[in-house]
Chain A
């Protein structure tokens, strides 16, 4: 029997909690940095996890400096789209890369960081075993 492929909505626009992990101490100290588009995200958008626990998200990084969350409808509220590409991963679209538009990139990163809640912060190594 074939496993059913989950049907993904075109956008997340409700109360879905989106997670973005902090990769460095500098991101922990200046959380806006966590929402700057990375070079490898230019095509797909700002990568976020959803429909998972915070620990599951953080464990993808080694080490992690913390975890931020933001609600999908609030991201929608500032004019961005959250487009899922799997049951637990989505990309925030329409975020400019700082090399292309530094002003908007930093401004939007600031707006996202002001909408975000800090779930955890501080150096943590991946849980094993």
Chain B
């Protein structure tokens, strides 16, 4: 792995056959932030999720440290680049974007947990777009299950999470808890 910034960070040596757990909290944070930047750049360069997944897995194994789950990184990137996309009907409102970034990332972290080595089923990749009023609609499809989170363009309009499986469907108030619950349900 050439040109990886993490190798510039001073890491304590690993004991043979065991994960390195002796790093202090500050080094851990620095390492994690550097890794996330590296992965985001790789995604932007190559757009190759499989390659980045392999990189992520190898680095976690080598370091014994848990990184931010890749699905979180991916959806964060999709939201961050949404305002500049040429592929949308209208630019998302600042309100919708900030709400989406906060709620979706929190929901992913709650649904996946911070230990990416835990074999928690991951949600499928989301479809992210806007409506003609600047609201954001994010949807996930997994087999017969469908989840959609609608972030209204302004606080006076309705935001909701909708889920469906066959004839069973409902719209709920949208917050980190309800979305996390539906992401877990989707992946189960």
Q: CB of A25 within 8 A of chain B?
A: yes
| CB–CB B171/A110 < 8 A | no
Q: Are B146 and A29 within 8 A (Cβ)?
A: no
Q: Are B87 and A33 in contact (CB-based, < 8 A)?
A: no
- Say whether A103 faces chain B, with CB atoms less than 8 Å apart: yes
Look across to chain A and name the residue whose beta carbon is closest to the beta carbon of B133: A39
Interchain CB contact under 8 A, A106 and B89: no
- B150 within 8 A of partner (CB): yes
Give the complex CA separation of A52 and B158 in angstroms.
Answer: 37
Q: Mark B139-155, 1 if CB is under 8 A from A, else 0.
A: 10100001010101000
Q: Are B127 and A26 in contact (CB under 8 A)?
A: yes
Per-residue contact bits, chain A 89-110, to B (CB 8 Å; 1 contact, 0 not) = 0000000001100110011001
B126 to chain A, nearest CB (A): 9
Q: Are B129 and A24 in contact (CB under 8 A)?
A: yes
Q: Is A27 an interface residue (CB 8 A)?
A: yes
Most chain A CB inside 10 Å of its own CB: which residue of B139, B148, B164: B148
Residues of B contacting A39 in the complex (Cβ-Cβ under 8 angstroms): 131-133
Cα-based distance from A80 to B157 in the complex (angstroms) = 26
In whole angstroms, what is the CA distance A25 to B87 when docked? 6
Contact of A49 with B by CB under 8 A:
no
CB distance from B140 to the nearest CB of A (A): 9
Q: Which of A35-92 contact B (CB under 8 A)?
A: 36, 38-40
Give the docked Cα–Cα distance between A38 and B100 (Å): 21
At the interface, is chain A mostly helix, strand, loop or mixed?
Answer: helix
Number of contacts between A and B (CB, 8 Å)?
A: 57
- How many chain B residues touch A (CB < 8 A): the figure is 25
Q: A99-B157, A99-B158, A103-B171 are known contacts. Are A26 and B129 too (CB-CB below 8 A)?
A: yes
Chain B CB within 10 Å, residue with most, of A25, A30, A36? A30
A10-42, CB under 8 A of B: which get 1 and which 0?
Answer: 000000000000011111011011001011100
The smallest C-beta distance from A6 to any residue of chain B, in angstroms, reads 31
A30 touches B162 (CB 8 A): no
* Apart from A24-B89, A26-B87, 10 more pairs, CB < 8 Å: A23-B89, A24-B87, A24-B129, A26-B88, A30-B139, A30-B141, A32-B146, A102-B158, A106-B148, A110-B146
Which chain B residues have a beta carbon within 8 Å of chain A's beta carbons? 87-89, 127-133, 137, 139, 141, 146, 148, 150, 152, 157-158, 160, 162, 164, 169-171
The 10 closest A-B CB pairs, nearest first, are A26-B129, A102-B171, A103-B171, A30-B127, A29-B127, A106-B162, A25-B87, A102-B160, A30-B139, A107-B169
Chain A residues within CB distance 8 Å of chain B: 23-27, 29-30, 32-33, 36, 38-40, 98-99, 102-103, 106-107, 110
